[in-house]
Homo-oligomer: A and B are copies of this chain.
Amino acid sequence: MTLSAYPSATLLIACPDQRGIVAAITDFIFRNNGNILHLDQHVDAQENVFFMRVEWSMEGFAIPRESVDAVFGEIGQQFRMRWSLHFSDRNQRMAIFVSKYGHCLYDILARYQSGEWNVDIPVIIGNHPDFEAVAHTFGIDFKLFTMTKDNKAEQEQAQIALLREYKIDFVVLARYMQILSPSFVEAFPNQIINIHHSFLPAFVGAKPYHAAFARGVKIIGATSHYVTGDLDAGPIIEQDITRVNHKDSVEDMIRKGRDIEKLVLSRAIWHHLRRQILIYNNKSVIFG
Protein backbone atom coordinates (compact mmCIF):
# COMPACT_ATOMS: atom_id res chain seq x y z
CA MET A 1 0.00 0.00 0.00
CA THR A 2 1.23 3.45 -0.88
CA LEU A 3 -0.70 6.62 -0.41
CA SER A 4 -1.73 9.07 -3.09
CA ALA A 5 -3.71 12.29 -3.27
CA TYR A 6 -6.00 10.77 -5.91
CA PRO A 7 -8.46 7.98 -5.25
CA SER A 8 -8.02 4.65 -6.93
CA ALA A 9 -10.64 2.50 -8.59
CA THR A 10 -10.77 -1.23 -7.95
CA LEU A 11 -12.54 -3.74 -10.15
CA LEU A 12 -13.32 -7.24 -8.83
CA ILE A 13 -14.20 -9.66 -11.59
CA ALA A 14 -15.23 -13.30 -11.95
CA CYS A 15 -16.26 -14.93 -15.23
CA PRO A 16 -15.84 -18.07 -17.33
CA ASP A 17 -12.22 -18.34 -18.42
CA GLN A 18 -11.43 -17.57 -22.04
CA ARG A 19 -8.70 -15.93 -24.09
CA GLY A 20 -8.40 -12.18 -24.15
CA ILE A 21 -9.93 -11.18 -20.82
CA VAL A 22 -6.85 -9.54 -19.37
CA ALA A 23 -6.10 -7.85 -22.69
CA ALA A 24 -9.62 -6.44 -22.87
CA ILE A 25 -9.60 -5.10 -19.33
CA THR A 26 -6.12 -3.60 -19.37
CA ASP A 27 -6.76 -2.09 -22.78
CA PHE A 28 -9.90 -0.46 -21.35
CA ILE A 29 -7.86 1.08 -18.58
CA PHE A 30 -5.00 2.10 -20.87
CA ARG A 31 -7.21 3.68 -23.54
CA ASN A 32 -8.82 5.81 -20.86
CA ASN A 33 -5.47 6.90 -19.53
CA GLY A 34 -5.51 4.92 -16.28
CA ASN A 35 -2.30 3.86 -14.54
CA ILE A 36 -2.53 0.37 -13.08
CA LEU A 37 -1.38 0.20 -9.44
CA HIS A 38 -2.08 -3.47 -8.74
CA LEU A 39 -3.23 -6.32 -10.93
CA ASP A 40 -3.86 -9.85 -9.76
CA GLN A 41 -5.55 -12.61 -11.67
CA HIS A 42 -6.22 -16.24 -11.02
CA VAL A 43 -7.67 -19.08 -13.02
CA ASP A 44 -9.37 -21.96 -11.27
CA ALA A 45 -8.38 -24.54 -13.88
CA GLN A 46 -10.67 -27.16 -12.40
CA GLU A 47 -13.78 -24.98 -12.53
CA ASN A 48 -12.64 -22.96 -15.55
CA VAL A 49 -13.34 -19.67 -13.79
CA PHE A 50 -11.29 -16.50 -14.19
CA PHE A 51 -10.81 -14.09 -11.28
CA MET A 52 -9.25 -10.65 -11.33
CA ARG A 53 -8.62 -7.66 -9.15
CA VAL A 54 -7.25 -4.57 -10.81
CA GLU A 55 -6.67 -1.23 -9.11
CA TRP A 56 -5.76 1.91 -11.02
CA SER A 57 -5.28 5.56 -10.22
CA MET A 58 -8.13 7.90 -11.11
CA GLU A 59 -5.56 10.65 -11.70
CA GLY A 60 -6.24 11.79 -15.25
CA PHE A 61 -8.64 8.92 -15.98
CA ALA A 62 -10.77 9.83 -18.98
CA ILE A 63 -14.08 8.51 -17.69
CA PRO A 64 -15.77 10.35 -14.83
CA ARG A 65 -16.18 8.12 -11.81
CA GLU A 66 -19.96 8.04 -11.96
CA SER A 67 -19.76 6.61 -15.49
CA VAL A 68 -17.00 4.03 -15.09
CA ASP A 69 -19.33 1.24 -14.13
CA ALA A 70 -21.63 1.78 -17.08
CA VAL A 71 -18.84 2.13 -19.62
CA PHE A 72 -17.06 -0.96 -18.30
CA GLY A 73 -20.37 -2.81 -18.54
CA GLU A 74 -19.88 -3.44 -22.24
CA ILE A 75 -16.77 -5.50 -21.55
CA GLY A 76 -18.41 -7.05 -18.54
CA GLN A 77 -21.37 -8.30 -20.52
CA GLN A 78 -19.23 -9.48 -23.42
CA PHE A 79 -17.33 -11.80 -21.10
CA ARG A 80 -20.34 -12.66 -18.91
CA MET A 81 -18.64 -11.21 -15.84
CA ARG A 82 -19.87 -10.73 -12.32
CA TRP A 83 -18.05 -7.57 -11.34
CA SER A 84 -18.05 -4.83 -8.74
CA LEU A 85 -16.40 -1.41 -8.78
CA HIS A 86 -15.09 0.47 -5.76
CA PHE A 87 -13.37 3.78 -5.11
CA SER A 88 -10.76 4.13 -2.40
CA ASP A 89 -12.05 7.44 -1.03
CA ARG A 90 -15.38 5.98 -0.02
CA ASN A 91 -15.09 4.39 3.44
CA GLN A 92 -17.08 1.25 4.13
CA ARG A 93 -19.38 1.30 7.14
CA MET A 94 -18.91 -1.52 9.58
CA ALA A 95 -20.97 -2.70 12.57
CA ILE A 96 -19.49 -4.82 15.34
CA PHE A 97 -21.48 -7.45 17.25
CA VAL A 98 -20.14 -8.38 20.70
CA SER A 99 -21.08 -10.41 23.74
CA LYS A 100 -18.80 -10.71 26.77
CA TYR A 101 -15.27 -11.21 25.36
CA GLY A 102 -13.42 -7.99 24.61
CA HIS A 103 -10.10 -9.01 23.03
CA CYS A 104 -11.25 -8.85 19.41
CA LEU A 105 -13.25 -5.70 20.06
CA TYR A 106 -10.28 -3.86 21.59
CA ASP A 107 -8.02 -5.00 18.79
CA ILE A 108 -10.42 -3.56 16.22
CA LEU A 109 -10.99 -0.34 18.13
CA ALA A 110 -7.28 0.33 18.61
CA ARG A 111 -6.78 0.03 14.84
CA TYR A 112 -9.82 2.21 14.24
CA GLN A 113 -8.57 4.94 16.53
CA SER A 114 -5.03 4.87 15.13
CA GLY A 115 -6.34 5.28 11.60
CA GLU A 116 -4.86 1.98 10.43
CA TRP A 117 -8.02 1.17 8.49
CA ASN A 118 -10.14 3.27 6.16
CA VAL A 119 -13.45 2.43 7.76
CA ASP A 120 -16.33 4.03 9.62
CA ILE A 121 -17.74 2.26 12.67
CA PRO A 122 -20.91 4.04 13.65
CA VAL A 123 -22.41 1.36 15.90
CA ILE A 124 -21.63 -1.59 18.15
CA ILE A 125 -24.42 -4.07 18.87
CA GLY A 126 -24.29 -6.23 22.00
CA ASN A 127 -26.50 -8.93 23.44
CA HIS A 128 -24.99 -7.99 26.78
CA PRO A 129 -24.34 -4.47 28.05
CA ASP A 130 -20.69 -5.08 29.01
CA PHE A 131 -19.02 -2.90 26.39
CA GLU A 132 -21.38 0.04 26.28
CA ALA A 133 -18.93 2.36 28.06
CA VAL A 134 -16.06 1.18 25.86
CA ALA A 135 -18.07 1.98 22.73
CA HIS A 136 -18.76 5.48 23.97
CA THR A 137 -15.08 6.00 24.81
CA PHE A 138 -14.31 5.45 21.16
CA GLY A 139 -17.18 7.70 20.06
CA ILE A 140 -19.34 4.84 18.80
CA ASP A 141 -23.03 4.22 19.47
CA PHE A 142 -23.90 1.11 21.45
CA LYS A 143 -27.22 -0.72 21.04
CA LEU A 144 -28.28 -3.51 23.38
CA PHE A 145 -30.40 -6.38 22.06
CA THR A 146 -30.93 -8.98 24.76
CA MET A 147 -31.76 -12.35 23.33
CA THR A 148 -34.11 -15.05 24.52
CA LYS A 149 -35.52 -18.04 22.75
CA ASP A 150 -38.78 -16.23 22.35
CA ASN A 151 -37.65 -12.86 21.09
CA LYS A 152 -34.83 -13.88 18.77
CA ALA A 153 -36.67 -13.54 15.46
CA GLU A 154 -38.09 -10.19 16.48
CA GLN A 155 -34.78 -8.88 17.80
CA GLU A 156 -32.96 -9.90 14.66
CA GLN A 157 -35.47 -8.03 12.54
CA ALA A 158 -34.87 -4.99 14.71
CA GLN A 159 -31.13 -5.42 14.30
CA ILE A 160 -31.45 -5.60 10.52
CA ALA A 161 -33.56 -2.45 10.54
CA LEU A 162 -30.96 -0.70 12.68
CA LEU A 163 -28.15 -1.77 10.35
CA ARG A 164 -30.11 -0.42 7.39
CA GLU A 165 -30.68 2.82 9.25
CA TYR A 166 -26.95 3.17 9.92
CA LYS A 167 -26.26 2.31 6.24
CA ILE A 168 -23.99 -0.55 7.33
CA ASP A 169 -22.01 -2.26 4.56
CA PHE A 170 -20.77 -5.23 6.54
CA VAL A 171 -20.93 -6.83 9.96
CA VAL A 172 -18.12 -8.20 12.12
CA LEU A 173 -18.94 -10.79 14.78
CA ALA A 174 -16.24 -10.13 17.39
CA ARG A 175 -16.76 -13.31 19.42
CA TYR A 176 -20.53 -12.72 19.30
CA MET A 177 -22.05 -15.68 21.16
CA GLN A 178 -25.29 -16.01 19.24
CA ILE A 179 -25.97 -18.05 16.13
CA LEU A 180 -27.54 -15.87 13.46
CA SER A 181 -30.71 -17.18 11.86
CA PRO A 182 -30.74 -17.91 8.11
CA SER A 183 -32.92 -14.90 7.42
CA PHE A 184 -30.36 -12.60 9.05
CA VAL A 185 -27.52 -14.21 7.12
CA GLU A 186 -29.38 -13.86 3.84
CA ALA A 187 -29.81 -10.15 4.46
CA PHE A 188 -26.00 -9.69 4.29
CA PRO A 189 -24.59 -12.27 1.88
CA ASN A 190 -20.79 -12.46 2.15
CA GLN A 191 -20.96 -9.36 4.32
CA ILE A 192 -20.83 -10.96 7.78
CA ILE A 193 -17.36 -11.88 9.04
CA ASN A 194 -17.04 -14.28 11.96
CA ILE A 195 -14.09 -15.50 14.01
CA HIS A 196 -14.19 -19.11 15.11
CA HIS A 197 -11.74 -20.23 17.78
CA SER A 198 -10.36 -23.31 16.05
CA PHE A 199 -8.55 -24.20 12.86
CA LEU A 200 -11.61 -25.23 10.92
CA PRO A 201 -12.80 -27.75 9.90
CA ALA A 202 -11.49 -29.18 13.16
CA PHE A 203 -13.64 -28.48 16.21
CA VAL A 204 -16.77 -27.01 14.67
CA GLY A 205 -19.30 -25.65 17.15
CA ALA A 206 -19.14 -24.87 20.85
CA LYS A 207 -16.15 -25.13 23.18
CA PRO A 208 -13.41 -25.90 20.63
CA TYR A 209 -10.59 -25.34 23.15
CA HIS A 210 -12.09 -27.94 25.45
CA ALA A 211 -12.28 -30.33 22.50
CA ALA A 212 -8.70 -29.51 21.49
CA PHE A 213 -7.52 -30.16 25.03
CA ALA A 214 -9.35 -33.48 25.16
CA ARG A 215 -7.85 -34.58 21.84
CA GLY A 216 -4.33 -33.61 22.90
CA VAL A 217 -3.46 -31.54 19.84
CA LYS A 218 -0.10 -29.77 19.63
CA ILE A 219 -1.44 -26.75 17.74
CA ILE A 220 -4.54 -24.65 18.24
CA GLY A 221 -5.86 -22.11 15.79
CA ALA A 222 -8.49 -19.64 14.74
CA THR A 223 -10.45 -19.17 11.54
CA SER A 224 -12.16 -16.12 10.13
CA HIS A 225 -14.89 -16.81 7.58
CA TYR A 226 -17.98 -15.37 6.00
CA VAL A 227 -21.14 -16.54 7.68
CA THR A 228 -23.48 -18.75 5.71
CA GLY A 229 -26.48 -20.82 6.66
CA ASP A 230 -24.23 -23.73 7.69
CA LEU A 231 -22.59 -23.37 11.08
CA ASP A 232 -18.83 -22.62 10.84
CA ALA A 233 -18.88 -23.79 7.23
CA GLY A 234 -18.74 -20.53 5.26
CA PRO A 235 -15.87 -19.46 2.99
CA ILE A 236 -12.62 -19.22 4.96
CA ILE A 237 -10.83 -15.86 4.74
CA GLU A 238 -7.89 -16.34 7.07
CA GLN A 239 -6.47 -18.86 9.53
CA ASP A 240 -3.55 -19.03 11.87
CA ILE A 241 -2.29 -21.25 14.65
CA THR A 242 -0.08 -21.31 17.72
CA ARG A 243 1.70 -24.19 19.41
CA VAL A 244 0.55 -25.71 22.69
CA ASN A 245 1.90 -28.53 24.79
CA HIS A 246 1.02 -30.77 27.69
CA LYS A 247 1.61 -27.95 30.17
CA ASP A 248 -1.25 -25.94 28.73
CA SER A 249 -4.55 -26.29 30.53
CA VAL A 250 -7.81 -25.42 28.81
CA GLU A 251 -7.47 -21.97 30.37
CA ASP A 252 -4.00 -21.57 28.85
CA MET A 253 -5.35 -22.57 25.45
CA ILE A 254 -8.12 -20.02 25.78
CA ARG A 255 -5.57 -17.34 26.73
CA LYS A 256 -3.15 -18.20 23.93
CA GLY A 257 -6.00 -18.60 21.48
CA ARG A 258 -7.29 -15.09 22.11
CA ASP A 259 -4.14 -13.64 20.56
CA ILE A 260 -4.62 -15.70 17.42
CA GLU A 261 -8.33 -14.92 17.23
CA LYS A 262 -7.88 -11.18 17.32
CA LEU A 263 -5.11 -11.12 14.72
CA VAL A 264 -6.89 -13.50 12.35
CA LEU A 265 -10.12 -11.52 12.57
CA SER A 266 -8.36 -8.21 12.00
CA ARG A 267 -6.45 -9.58 9.01
CA ALA A 268 -9.73 -10.81 7.53
CA ILE A 269 -11.29 -7.37 8.02
CA TRP A 270 -8.25 -5.82 6.33
CA HIS A 271 -8.71 -8.00 3.26
CA HIS A 272 -12.42 -7.18 3.18
CA LEU A 273 -11.80 -3.45 3.51
CA ARG A 274 -9.16 -3.53 0.79
CA ARG A 275 -11.60 -5.27 -1.58
CA GLN A 276 -9.20 -8.19 -1.93
CA ILE A 277 -11.70 -11.02 -1.59
CA LEU A 278 -13.66 -12.89 -4.22
CA ILE A 279 -15.96 -15.75 -3.24
CA TYR A 280 -16.69 -18.72 -5.46
CA ASN A 281 -18.03 -22.17 -4.60
CA ASN A 282 -17.83 -21.45 -0.88
CA LYS A 283 -14.09 -20.70 -1.17
CA SER A 284 -12.21 -17.42 -1.16
CA VAL A 285 -9.70 -15.98 -3.57
CA ILE A 286 -7.63 -13.45 -1.60
CA PHE A 287 -5.64 -11.02 -3.72
CA GLY A 288 -3.55 -9.78 -0.76
> How far, in Å, is A45 (CB) from chain B's closest CB?
5
**Distance of A44 Cα from B241 Cα, bound (Å):** 24
Which of B111, B282, B283 is the one whose CB lies under 8 Å from A246? B283
Confirm or deny: A102 has a beta carbon within 8 angstroms of a beta carbon on chain B.
yes
Find residues 189-237 in chain A having any chain B CB closer than 8 Å to their own CB.
199-203, 215-219, 221, 235-237
Judge if A114 is at the interface, Cβ distance under 8 Å.
Answer: yes
What is the total number of copies of this protein in its complex? 4
CB–CB B35/A29 < 8 A: no
Distance of A212 from chain B, by nearest CB (Å): 9
Interface pair B203/A216, CB less than 8 Å apart: no
When chains A and B are docked, how far (Å) is the Cα of A27 from the Cα of B23? 5
Contact yes or no, B106 A249, CB < 8 A: no
Residue of B nearest to A52 (CB): B39
Contact of B246 with A217 in the complex, beta carbons under 8 Å: no
Determine whether the beta carbon of A40 is less than 8 Å from that of B37: no
Q: Is the CB of B255 within 8 A of A116?
A: yes
Interface size on A, residues (CB 8 A): 71
A214 (CB) vs chain B CBs: closest residue: B283
Contact between B19 and A23, CB atoms less than 8 A apart: no
Name the distance in Å between A12's Cβ and chain B's nearest Cβ.
14
For A13-44 the 0/1 string (1 means CB < 8 A from B) is 00000011011001101100111111111111
CA distance A113 to B284 in the complex (A): 35
- Specify which chain B residues have a CB less than 8 angstroms from the CB of A200 in the assembled complex: 202, 215, 217
Does chain B have a CB within 8 A of A259? yes
Question: Nearest 3 CB-CB pairs, A to B?
Answer: A216-B283, A106-B110, A202-B202
